[in-house]
């Protein structure tokens, strides 16, 4: 069963069926119990009336046992039947093995105690037991009609000190008829109610899932057309489906931006690679035709530039693929000193200031060296007379600040300069300005290490790039 509507309707129907069945069974049990208790009360009243007559000295023949609706049977201590209702033909459930024939066990009359010696003691007292009667279910045949009865057994002691047990019954026909009527009504109404529940659940689920079907169709259309500019319809409700639609559109927006960024990246990479490759090819073709005109230093320069650009593109691809940096301990103070010491060909020698304290971070030494190198390249490219590098610890982070005294970065462009292939110095040649990947790589590497890279304005008016990396054990989640 692949339909959500069908599964929901079936599930709701099963739950309602179980609930109604349990409720119906409870109602039947309660109804049967109440009616049985009512019949038992009637039987007890009849039994106590007969027991009262016996306690008052009535003989068996004088007992009022003409009520056909409440059959009565009286037994003595030995279980012999001493009195029964007039039309009672058979009885069960009273412990007398179905017998209704009266046994010859006469109760002594008032004059039968003349032979007893008068010892001055008080005569026996007659009384009806005040204990709760014993209730049993059985059958009785009265005037040829057999029916079920609820019997109550009440003990009585006569004036002659004879203990008798009065069994009186009340018919259970009303109880059985009421229970059967209720059961029939439930069995008739339950299927109808379940059909109504299934139908309503189907319709409600169908209405609730209609926006989902619209979302599915639109996503299928987007997949077929590859047009990420389209959006799924958002219902006006504020339920889970509306949130799903909004989240889907947000995902499509991010995906569209990612695809656009990837396309621009490929286009920009192709454009950046075309220039050194074309230049290198031209120089080699000229050198092949006229060896004396071969610009070997220029060819080497173009080759190096091509190699650096390929390495940057490869690193960006690895970062985009989610490559996580290593967990090697890296001393940023020593790393900065090493990078500066290798820059002997720079036109401006950077001034380095390393503070005391813990300056180690966890990460990839090669990638962090690339970040420091890119920041130094950028500062040396724009500085007029000075470049300064400061390394210090601040709370749970290590800060590396690179400042220059160049023109600085306009506030409106401070976020844009970290985009790939973006150069604010477009007037410069590509050889001087680079490909516009250095700062993008630096920020991506910083983010992969749990840190940040921001740009601001230095006291001298130039640019100040601040790299923040967390100390080991203090990484952001």
CATH number, domain at 400? 3.30.565.10
Say which residues have a Cβ less than 8 Å from residue 318's Cβ, sequence separation at least 6.
none
Count: domains in the chain:
3
Q: Assess whether 290 and 366 both reside in one domain.
A: no
Q: Assess whether 239 and 379 both reside in one domain.
A: no
Q: Assess whether 150 and 32 both reside in one domain.
A: yes
Q: Assess whether 457 and 365 both reside in one domain.
A: yes
Q: Assess whether 333 and 235 both reside in one domain.
A: no
CA distance 204 to 285: 76
- Which residue, of 284, 302, 323, is where some domain finishes? 323
313 assigned to some structural domain = yes
Which structural domain, as residue segments, surrounds residue 271? 228-323
Q: Assess whether 395 and 281 both reside in one domain.
A: no
The kind and range of the H/E element at 92 are strand 88-92
Tokens of residue 31, six digits: 């109804």
Closest CA to 435 of 310, 303, 319: 310
Q: Would strands 127-128 and 145-157 be described as parallel, antiparallel, or unpaired?
A: antiparallel
Reported pTM: 0.51
The kind and range of the H/E element at 24 are helix 4-55
219 assigned to some structural domain = no
Q: Assess whether 158 and 40 both reside in one domain.
A: yes
279 assigned to some structural domain = yes
CATH number, domain of 291, equals: 1.10.287
CA distance 248 to 255: 10
194 assigned to some structural domain = no
**Tens-of-pLDDT digits for all 477 residues of the chain?**
567 778 888 888 899 999 989 998 999 999 889 998 999 999 899 989 988 888 888 888 888 888 878 899 998 888 888 888 888 888 888 876 555 565 544 444 444 444 444 455 555 566 877 778 889 998 888 888 888 999 999 998 888 888 899 999 999 988 888 889 988 988 888 898 889 988 888 888 888 888 888 888 888 988 888 888 888 888 887 788 888 888 989 998 988 887 887 777 777 777 777 777 887 788 788 878 878 777 777 777 778 778 877 887 788 777 777 777 778 899 999 999 999 999 888 888 899 999 987 789 998 998 999 999 999 999 998 899 999 999 999 888 999 999 999 998 888 888 888 887 776 654 344 445 566 788 888 999 999 899 999 999 988 889 999 999 998 866 555
Tokens 């010696």, located at residue: 117
- Which residue, of 161, 179, 197, is where some domain finishes? 179
Tokens of residue 216, six digits: 């599915």
Angstrom distances, CA of residue 347 to CA of 380, 386, 429, 437: 7, 10, 18, 22
Largest Cα–Cα distance in the chain?
168
Closest CA to 54 of 104, 115, 123, 129: 129
285 assigned to some structural domain = yes
210 assigned to some structural domain = no
Strand partners of residue 394: 397
Q: Would strands 397-404 and 351-354 be described as parallel, antiparallel, or unpaired?
A: unpaired
Q: Assess whether 295 and 343 both reside in one domain.
A: no
Q: Assess whether 173 and 267 both reside in one domain.
A: no
Q: Assess whether 265 and 335 both reside in one domain.
A: no
- pLDDT at position 435: 67
Phi, psi of 136 (to 5 degrees): -140, 160
462 assigned to some structural domain = yes
Q: Assess whether 317 and 351 both reside in one domain.
A: no
- Which residue, of 288, 305, 323, is where some domain finishes? 323
Distance of CA 103 to the CA centre of its chain: 76
203 assigned to some structural domain = no
Say which residues have a Cβ less than 8 Å from residue 380's Cβ, sequence separation at least 6.
343, 346, 347, 348, 350, 387, 404
CA distance 437 to 419: 8
Say which residues have a Cβ less than 8 Å from residue 22's Cβ, sequence separation at least 6.
none
Q: Assess whether 35 and 162 both reside in one domain.
A: yes
CA distance 365 to 330: 6
Phi, psi of 194 (to 5 degrees): -65, -40
């Amino acid at each position: 069963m692949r339909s959500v509507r069908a599964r929901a309707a079936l599930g709701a129907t099963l739950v309602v069926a179980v609930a109604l069945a349990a409720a119906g069974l409870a109602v039947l049990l309660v109804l049967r119990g109440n009616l049985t208790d009512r019949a038992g009360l009637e039987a007890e009243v009849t039994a106590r009336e007969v027991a009262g007559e016996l306690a008052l000295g009535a003989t068996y023949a004088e007992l009022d046992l003409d009520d056909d609706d409440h059959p009565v049977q009286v037994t003595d201590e030995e279980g012999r039947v001493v009195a029964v209702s007039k039309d009672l033909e058979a009885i069960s459930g009273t412990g007398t093995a179905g017998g209704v024939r009266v046994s010859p066990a006469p109760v002594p009359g008032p004059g039968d105690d003349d032979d007893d010696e008068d010892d001055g003691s008080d005569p026996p007292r007659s009384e009806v037991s005040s204990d709760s009667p014993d209730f049993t279910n059985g059958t009785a045949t009265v005037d040829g009609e057999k029916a079920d009865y609820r019997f109550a057994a009440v003990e009585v002691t006569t004036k002659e000190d004879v203990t008798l047990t009065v069994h009186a019954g009340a018919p259970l026909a009303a109880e059985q008829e009421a229970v059967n009527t209720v059961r029939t009504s439930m069995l008739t109404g339950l299927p109808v109610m379940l059909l109504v529940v299934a139908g309503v659940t189907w319709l409600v689920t169908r209405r609730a899932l209609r926006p989902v079907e619209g979302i599915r169709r639109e996503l299928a259309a987007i997949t077929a057309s590859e047009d990420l500019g389209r959006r799924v319809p958002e219902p006006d409700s504020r339920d889970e489906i509306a949130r799903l639609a909004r989240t889907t559109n947000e995902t499509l927006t991010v995906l569209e931006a990612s695809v656009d960024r990837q396309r621009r990246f490929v286009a920009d990479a192709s454009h950046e690679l075309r220039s050194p490759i074309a230049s290198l090819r031209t120089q080699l073709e000229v050198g092949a035709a006229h060896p004396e005109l071969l610009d070997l230093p220029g060819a080497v320069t173009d080759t190096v530039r091509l190699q650096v650009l390929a390495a940057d593109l490869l690193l960006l691809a690895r970062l985009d693929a989610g490559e996580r940096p290593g967990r090697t301990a890296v001393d940023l103070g020593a790393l900065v000193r090493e990078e500066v010491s290798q820059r002997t060909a720079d036109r401006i020698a950077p001034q380095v200031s390393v503070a005391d304290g813990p300056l180690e971070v966890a990460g990839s030494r090669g990638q962090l060296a690339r970040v420091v190198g890119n920041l130094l390249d950028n500062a040396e490219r724009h500085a007029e007379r000075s470049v300064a590098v400061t390394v210090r610890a601040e709370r749970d982070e290590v800060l590396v600040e690179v400042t220059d005294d160049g023109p600085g970065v306009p506030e409106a462009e401070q976020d844009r300069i970290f985009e790939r292939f973006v150069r604010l110095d477009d007037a410069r040649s590509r050889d001087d300005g680079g490909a516009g990947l250095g700062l993008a790589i630096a920020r991506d590497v910083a983010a992969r290490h749990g840190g940040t890279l921001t740009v601001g304005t230095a006291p001298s008016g130039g640019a100040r790039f601040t790299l923040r990396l967390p100390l080991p054990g203090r990484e952001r989640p």
